[in-house]
Amino acid sequence: MNMSKVMRVAAREFASTAMTKGFIIGALVLPAAMALVISLVLMLSINAQPPADKGTIYLLDRSGEVASTATERMSPEEVEQRWQERAENAKKFAKEIIGNKFGSKVSDSIDQASISIDTPEFRVIQTDPDVDIEKLKEELRTQVAAGSASGDELEKLIAIIEIDADATRKANDDEGFGSYQAFFRPKLNEETVSEIESSIRWSIRELRYQNAEIDRDVVVELSSVKARKSMEITEEGERKESSGITSFVIPFVAMILLLMASMTGGQYLLTTTVEEKSNRVVEVLLSAVSPLELMTGKIIGQMGVGLSLLTVYNAVGIIALIAFSMGDLIDARMVLLIFVFFLLAYFMFASLMAAIGSAVNDLREAQSLMTPVMLMMILPYIFFMPVIRAPNSLFSTITSFIPPISPFIMIMRVSSTDPPPTWQVLLAILLNMIAVVFFLWIAAKIFRVGLLMFGKPPNFRTLIKWIRMA
Amino acid sequence: MQLGTPESNKAYTQSTDFKGVSMTNTTAMTASMAVSMEGVRKTFGKKVAVEGIDLAIPQGSIYGFIGPNGAGKTTTIRMIMSILFPDRGELSVLGKKSAVESKDRIGYLPEERGIYKKMKVGAFLKHIGRLKGLDSRGLGNIVMQWLDRVELADVHKKKCEELSKGMQQKVQFIASVLHDPDLIILDEPFSGLDPVNMRLLRSLIDEQHTKGKTVIFSTHVMYQAEQLCDHIIMIHEGKKVLDDTLEDIRTRFDPRAIHVDPVGGLGMSDEIAKVAGVTHVTPVEGALEVILSEGIDPQDAMKSLLAAHPMNRVEIKKPTLEDVFIEIVTDGVRSADAEQLRADLLAGSKLEEEGES
């Protein structure tokens, strides 16, 4: 094989694929733009909260004892204080869940978020307990129909609360406590609604404690059981139980990266092969290079395409992780394995694509031969959940040794929280290398015969005949 | 290397002589031959595309492969190029067992035109040049010189798909001769060209021949072969039916016919048929074709025809390759079938030209 000719073919293949506007936009700019848009939307949705609700609440207290507690509970000062406490707690919680390093970033953003959400402000008016609830509702309905009233926003009626007479004291021992009923103006912020409702519930509960002569603090103390982080006992010792983010996201991302990079290169290989065949440039090429040189060159060229995609996406991922102070999640061994498994997966997929591309007359005909290949490429998606739930189960172990899906399954296992032993990884690499040689051998045979065959699109039986023939 | 004087070719190229030589000294023969084939057979499934072809094409000669569409010309050429491999038979190209070993010394213009549509003309030619083993240094100059020669200097930055069919054809021709090959194989090089470009291409092919290159080209339009070749190989239904120099073919297939245009028009045929030595008179394209009986010298016959009747024109009919072809495939029998075949041939080449222009 004349390597300089092979590399010449590869260079053209790479340039004609990767140096086009279509590729740069489709494969590089578009994902980057999407990532940008998604993060913008996320940031906007955090920062751009609707203005806080202000308004009047009619409190129709038929029990006769909740009203004053509830009014105090919903006074501007108390509401303000509670909102600040809640933000503090959220920060603490975030730190506990995600760990200190990343947690600080989260608490920063919670800071920003809580600053941007204004605390709602209420004016509570206790109505005559004997008033007809329908009249109050009618008033709210008229206000809603009139649209937003000008003038003082606090004048605006936003809610009517009707507290049952037996909300805090049972009418008799056979029945339970009564409750309350709330009516809201439409399109209030969710926070406002929950603030009002929780204040009412808190007030009702408070009065029930008083009536039963129970100290509230005692109840709180008695009902709280602090949860500690669960630990797993493994061969190596104790460790924290796997947390959601690392155990699911990283294997999934690794698998998708691998699939995307190998399929992009492979797909382009199919397209250019079909193109060369259908515009007959292939005969000119074959007068200069052998079919094997041509195929090798094309596969190497598209490997370059896949590698550059993988490199760009990996770099973006690594930069993103560092930017979010999650750099410690980057594992050099993982990055290396992604590239190794990419090469193995790509060579198998590319062989299939080269064989199919050389056998058909146009892309439409390629579809029927592509179907089984595509089904095969879906398998890693289907196997994602079972493999990631039990990375070392019999099923996971076996599927990670079966080419051509082996690279995808193995990368999931390797990046899971419970990676397989090194010998399994090495064995998978070895098995895949054998498979690559076999796939390339088959592809070379089909490629040689198929390139100059025009006419009826071949079926699998014809392909097997060609393999025997060549 | 220039071996191609007609005399030196003759001894090798007539098939009978070639066999004699090949049996006594195969190595000496293949060394001086650009292409040789022996008993080559190729089948596609049940269809036999080429059967028992023997060829010996000396270096420096210019050979024409002729035959109707589907005769097996392209299959033969693809086998010479090692794009297809024969099922049976021996083959050697430029002294090697296969063209694969000397790809860089061969220039090939395939029948199906192929270019990268999205590639720029200059880049495409450079790519092919590199694949053909040319050094990238100076390649740009070579490409520009060639484009200049075919009057396409201004298109080298254009995409191939923007060119007209005739321009693409010329670009393709450059791709086949760019690397200064010793053997140039052109499969239907003239299809799709207008008369001006046809003449340009003819002069370029002629120039390669003069430089001592071996040129093989195929065509189904036989007069094109007559204009260029010194040697004709005719293929019909996968078999070689003729392998000779143009001169010898003309002598061998002398139709023993004279075309006359008698004063008084074509109605004079009865009178002319009475002239001594004339066996048959048929009207053809504004003249009468006079067939002479065996043993009559055409010169004498012309004298007696002129003596018998005043003529506007009297000429010895030169056999065209079409005539030869028809005579070969119909075994010299003049019949309705032969006329039909002739009509088909003419119609076929016309259709082709119309379709491609």
Rounded to 10°, the helix A406-415/A422-450 angle is 150
pLDDT tens digit string along A24-79?
887 777 777 777 787 777 677 666 666 778 889 999 998 888 888 999 999 888 88
Determine, for residues B83 and A283 on separate chains, whether the beta-carbon distance falls below 8 Å: yes
Residue A414, classed as helix, strand or coil, is helix
Residue A305, Cβ density class (10 Å: 0-12 exposed, 13-18 middle, ≥19 buried): buried
Same structural domain for residues B56 and B96? Answer: yes
Provide the shortest C-alpha distance from residue B94 to chain A (in Å). 15
B-chain residues within 8 Å CB-CB of A9? Answer: 131
Determine, for residues A279 and B127 on separate chains, whether the beta-carbon distance falls below 8 Å: no
- The helix (H) or strand (E) run that includes residue A161 is strand A157-163
Same structural domain for residues B123 and B69? Answer: yes
pLDDT at A351 > cutoff 90: yes
Same structural domain for residues B209 and B122? Answer: yes
Residue B267: CATH number of its domain: 3.30.70.100
| In-domain check, residue B357 | no
Same structural domain for residues B159 and B267? Answer: no
Determine, for residues A287 and B116 on separate chains, whether the beta-carbon distance falls below 8 Å: no
Q: Which of A3-12, A393-402, B129-138, B313-322 has the lowest mean pLDDT?
A: B313-322
What average pLDDT is seen over chain B?
79
A-chain residues within 8 Å CB-CB of B178? Answer: none
CA distance B73 to A212: 109
Determine, for residues B110 and A5 on separate chains, whether the beta-carbon distance falls below 8 Å: no
Strands (E), chain B: 33-44, 47-58, 62-66, 88-93, 106-109, 183-187, 214-219, 231-236, 239-245, 257-262, 278-284, 287-292, 311-316
Q: What local confidence, expressed as pLDDT, does residue A197 receive? A: 92
Provide the shortest C-alpha distance from residue A291 to chain B (in Å). 9
A-chain residues within 8 Å CB-CB of B119? Answer: 16
Of B220 and A412, more confident: A412
Q: Of the residues B249, B266, B290, which one is the last residue of a structural domain?
A: B249
pLDDT at B212 > cutoff 70: yes
Q: Residue B93: how many CA atoms within 13 Å on its side-chain side?
A: 26
Same structural domain for residues B243 and B309? Answer: no
- Per-residue tokens: A408: 């995808």
For B123, name the nearest residue in chain A, comparing CA atoms only. A12
ipTM of model: 0.72
CA distance A104 to A344: 40
Q: What local confidence, expressed as pLDDT, does residue B353 receive? A: 44
Q: What local confidence, expressed as pLDDT, does residue B237 receive? A: 85
What average pLDDT is seen over chain A?
83
Please calculate the CA angle B117-B122-B124 and round it to the nearest 5 degrees: 45
Q: What local confidence, expressed as pLDDT, does residue A317 receive? A: 77
Determine, for residues B127 and A276 on separate chains, whether the beta-carbon distance falls below 8 Å: no
Q: Of the residues B249, B267, B292, which one is the last residue of a structural domain?
A: B249
Provide the shortest C-alpha distance from residue B311 to chain A (in Å). 55
Same structural domain for residues B55 and B127? Answer: yes
Of A175 and B176, more confident: B176
Question: What average pLDDT does range A137-156 have in this prediction?
Answer: 79
Same structural domain for residues B283 and B153? Answer: no
- The helix (H) or strand (E) run that includes residue A55 is strand A54-61
Same structural domain for residues B161 and B281? Answer: no
For A449, name the nearest residue in chain B, comparing CA atoms only. B84
Give me the domain span that covers residue B279: 254-316
Determine, for residues A279 and B114 on separate chains, whether the beta-carbon distance falls below 8 Å: yes
**B31 band by pLDDT with thresholds 50, 70 and 90:** low
pLDDT tens digit string along B45-89?
778 888 888 888 998 899 998 887 788 888 898 888 888 888 888
DSSP label at B96? B
Query: Residues A54, A71: contact at Cβ < 8 Å?
Result: no
For A9, name the nearest residue in chain B, comparing CA atoms only. B131
Same structural domain for residues B282 and B299? Answer: yes
> Which residues lie closer than 8 Å to A61 by C-beta, 6 or more apart?
A67, A70, A126, A129, A163
Domain spans of chain A, in order of start: 54-217, 245-469
Query: Residues A29, A18: contact at Cβ < 8 Å?
Result: no
Of B341 and A181, more confident: A181
Indicate whether this model's pTM tops 0.95.
Answer: no
Q: What local confidence, expressed as pLDDT, does residue B5 receive? A: 41
CA distance A376 to B224: 55
Question: What average pLDDT does range A407-422 have in this prediction?
Answer: 88
Beta bridge mates, A234 = A237
Residue B143: CATH number of its domain: 3.40.50.300
**A470 band by pLDDT with thresholds 50, 70 and 90:** low
Same structural domain for residues B158 and B267? Answer: no
Report the percentage of chain A scoring pLDDT > 70: 86
Same structural domain for residues B123 and B242? Answer: yes
pLDDT at A4 > cutoff 50: yes
Determine, for residues B117 and A279 on separate chains, whether the beta-carbon distance falls below 8 Å: yes
For B75, name the nearest residue in chain A, comparing CA atoms only. A452
**B25 band by pLDDT with thresholds 50, 70 and 90:** very low
Same structural domain for residues B217 and B90? Answer: yes
Determine, for residues A5 and B128 on separate chains, whether the beta-carbon distance falls below 8 Å: no
Question: What average pLDDT does range A370-386 have in this prediction?
Answer: 89
Determine, for residues A288 and B131 on separate chains, whether the beta-carbon distance falls below 8 Å: yes
| In-domain check, residue B353 | no
Which of A12, A16, A283 lies nearest to residue B110, judging by beta carbons? A283
Determine, for residues B81 and A286 on separate chains, whether the beta-carbon distance falls below 8 Å: yes
- Which of B44, B93, B127, B131 would best serve as a mutation to test chain A binding (most A beta carbons within 10 A)? B131
Determine, for residues B131 and A16 on separate chains, whether the beta-carbon distance falls below 8 Å: no
Determine, for residues A281 and B118 on separate chains, whether the beta-carbon distance falls below 8 Å: no
Question: What average pLDDT does range B313-329 have in this prediction?
Answer: 78
Q: What local confidence, expressed as pLDDT, does residue A48 receive? A: 62
Of A343 and B46, more confident: A343
Determine, for residues A287 and B108 on separate chains, whether the beta-carbon distance falls below 8 Å: yes
Question: What average pLDDT does range A229-234 have in this prediction?
Answer: 71
pLDDT at B215 > cutoff 90: yes
pLDDT tens digit string along B251-290?
777 767 888 888 877 777 787 888 877 887 888 777 888 8
- Which of B44, B104, B116 would best serve as a mutation to test chain A binding (most A beta carbons within 10 A)? B116
| In-domain check, residue B330 | no
> Which residues lie closer than 8 Å to A148 by C-beta, 6 or more apart?
A156
Query: Residues B131, B124: contact at Cβ < 8 Å?
Result: no
- Which of A284, A292, A361, A461 would best serve as a mutation to test chain B binding (most B beta carbons within 10 A)? A284
DSSP label at B47? E
**Into how many domains does chain B fold?**
2
Provide the shortest C-alpha distance from residue A33 to chain B (in Å). 27
Residue type, A343: L
CA distance B97 to A112: 79
Q: What local confidence, expressed as pLDDT, does residue A297 receive? A: 94
Question: What average pLDDT does range A105-128 have in this prediction?
Answer: 68
